[in-house]
Structure 1
C-alpha cells in the first residue's frame, strides 16, 4: 500500500513538540503531506472545561425553537447565529444538522463604499444570559483557547515544512481579526424524515481556512475522511483530543504540499441520539491576495501526485486574487436565505437562488 492510501488518522502529542521537537515535526510533516488530518493530544485545554462546553452545547440545542430563532442567522449579514435543521446545503444537497456560528466578539465596521466582504466581520447573536447562564462566557473562552492552539499548530506546521515559524501568520493572519467556530448537532437517522437521507454534512474541504480544530463532543461516530485513493476512513472520537485538518487556504499557500483532505459526516445510527461537535476555523485575512510561499525542493518532492476527492471547489477562480469575495460567495451558497437577504445582487450575479 502506498503512503497516500492511509487507513487511519495519526495521533500527535503536542507535549512532544517541547520534549522531542525533531520527532514531533517529522510526524507532523508526514500527516500534512500524506493525510491532511491528525488528532492532537497534550493540547492543554482542561477536560473539565470541555465537559462544560459540551453541556452548554446540548443545552443550547435543547432550547425551544422560538428561543433559538431569536439568534437566527437571518438577522446577521456576518452569517453568525443559528441555522435550523436542513438549512445549509453542501453540493446542492441538504445537510441534516443544526448549527450555531460564533466568533471572537467584533463590531461591524463596514460602510457603503467599502469592500462588500467586510460585512462578514460583525457581532455575535447571543441568547439572553437568563435563558442560558454562562453560555456566552464558555463559548468565548473556547474560541480563545482554540485560537491559541491553532496558532501554535500553524507555527509548527511552518517548521515542519522547513519554513520560519511565523512564515504563515505574519503575512496572512491579522492580530485581532475575527475567526469563527460553531456548535453542531447531528440528529440520529431515526430522528429524521426518511426522505432526508443520511448526510450530516456532505463531502467538502474547509474552504479558505488554514487549520480547523474539531472537538467531537459526545463520542458518537460519523466523521469520515477520504484517503487519497478515494476510500472513506472513519475518524472516531478519541477522548481529550482534537481533530485537526488542513484548509484550502493553507494548501494553496504551501503549493499543495499540505493537503486539504475531503471529509464528511454521516448522521448517527438509529437509537444512538444526536452527535455534537464543535469546530474552530483559523482563517487568513480577507484583504490579502494569496501568494504561494517558496517551499524547499526536498519538501516539494514529497507532494502527493494524485488526490481523489468527492468535494467540489466552487468559485475557485476567485480564490487567490480575491479571498474576501470568494469567502463571501461560499457563505451565500451554503446559507442561501441569509445570502439572498443581505447580498441579493451578488446572489443574482452568481446564479445563487433558494
Structure 2
C-alpha cells in the first residue's frame, strides 16, 4: 500500500461480516491515504436506484417555470432548486442544475436564536401531478442513504481504534437534518463557450462526516485530487456508491481521515448530461465540539502533506462555531439567497 493513490479503492461490505479485521484495515488505509472509496454489496437495490434515476431525470426535464416554483430563493434553508450556473465555487460559476432536499422538518427559528438554525426547515416540492411518487422516492433514498452512512460511520470509528458509536453519539444529534442533492451536469455542447467545463469546482464537503454519492449514469466527470496534487478519475462502477470524507470528520479525528479535494467536469460534446445524487451525513452544528482522542500510534500515520486546489474558507471558525461555519459556506455558494435572507451577515463576511 503506497502513501499516495492513483485509483479509488473498492470496499466490500460483505467482508465486514466475513473478515472484519481485514475490512477495517482496508477502510483505515482508505481514510488516511485517500479520503475516498467505493462500497459494494450495500443494501440499496438496483431496482430502487433505477426508479430514483428516472425521477431525477424527470425532474430536470420539467419546464423551467415548474422547476422555478421550487427555487431556493423562496426559502432561507438553501433547500430547493438552483438554475444552471447559479452556484459558485471559488468565485467561478458551476455548470450544473441541482435540487437540494433533506429529511422533512419544520422551520423553528425565531429572532434571537442562533442564525444557523434558519438552515433547518421544510423542503420545496414540485407539483405531484408532474412527478407522481417523486417525494416518496426521494425521501426513501434519503433514509436508505442515512442508514448506510450510519453503518459506515460506525466502521470508521472502529477503523480508527474507537468504539463503534463513538462518533455518532458525540457528533450527531438524533433527528437532525441531513441534506442531499439531485444534480444534472450538462454536456459542454449545451453550454456557452465562455462557460468552460467546470461542473463543480475543486472543493471539500463542508461540515459533514461522510458523503454517500450515487453516480446515476456512466458518464465520467468526477475527479479526486491525490496528495501530490494529481487529478484521479473516479468512474461510475455498477452497484456501488462513492463515499468521501467531509471536513467535519477530518477535524474531529485530528486530520487522520482526509477530506480530499474533488471536482466534476462537464461531459464531452455529444455525450448528454451526467446525473449524480449525493447524500451528506452531517455533524452537529449546535455547539462547539472538540476532537476525539486518537492513539499516538495512529497519529503517526497522519499524512504530512496534502496538496489541494480547494480553499479553506472559514475553516478556522469550525471549531468554535460549526453552525455559522456551515451557514457561511452555503451563503458564499448561493449569493442570491444570501442577499435576500442574510444581507447583514453577507456584508459582514464579504459575501455580497
TM range (shorter): over 0.9
Q: Is 1:172 matched with 2:201? A: no
Q: 1:216-262 deviations in whole A, cap 9, x for unaligned?
A: 00111000000000000000000110000000000000000110000
Give the C-alpha shift of residue 315 in structure 1. 1.0
The answer on whether the counterparts of 1:68 and 1:82 sit within 8 Å (CA) in structure 2 is yes
Match of 2:336 in 1: 337
User: How many angstroms apart in 2 are the aligned matches of 1:318 and 1:307?
Assistant: 21
User: How many angstroms apart in 2 are the aligned matches of 1:16 and 1:105?
Assistant: 34
Counting only pairs closer than 5 Å after superposition, residues 1-354 of structure 1 correspond to structure 2 as 3-353=2-352
User: How many angstroms apart in 2 are the aligned matches of 1:101 and 1:243?
Assistant: 19
Give the C-alpha shift of residue 68 in structure 1. 0.1
The answer on whether the counterparts of 1:4 and 1:229 sit within 8 Å (CA) in structure 2 is no
Match of 1:286, SS state, is: coil
Match of 2:117, SS state, is: helix
Give the C-alpha shift of residue 15 in structure 1. 1.5
**Structure 2, unaligned runs of 5 or more:** none
Match of 1:5, SS state, is: coil
User: How many angstroms apart in 1 are the aligned matches of 2:53 and 2:288?
Assistant: 37
Give the C-alpha shift of residue 4 in structure 1. 2.7
The answer on whether the counterparts of 1:228 and 1:306 sit within 8 Å (CA) in structure 2 is yes
The answer on whether the counterparts of 1:96 and 1:198 sit within 8 Å (CA) in structure 2 is yes
Match of 2:166, SS state, is: coil
The answer on whether the counterparts of 1:4 and 1:227 sit within 8 Å (CA) in structure 2 is no
Aligned residues: 352
State the 4+ residue runs in structure 1 displaced beyond 3 angstroms: none
Match of 1:31, SS state, is: helix
Give the C-alpha shift of residue 206 in structure 1. 0.5
User: How many angstroms apart in 1 are the aligned matches of 2:218 and 2:75?
Assistant: 31
Tell me the TM-score normalised to structure 2 length. 0.99
User: How many angstroms apart in 2 are the aligned matches of 1:193 and 1:290?
Assistant: 45
Give the C-alpha shift of residue 290 in structure 1. 2.2
Give the C-alpha shift of residue 5 in structure 1. 2.1
User: How many angstroms apart in 2 are the aligned matches of 1:209 and 1:178?
Assistant: 12
User: How many angstroms apart in 2 are the aligned matches of 1:114 and 1:205?
Assistant: 28
Tell me the TM-score normalised to structure 1 length. 0.99
User: How many angstroms apart in 1 are the aligned matches of 2:202 and 2:45?
Assistant: 31
CA RMSD of aligned residues (A): 0.7
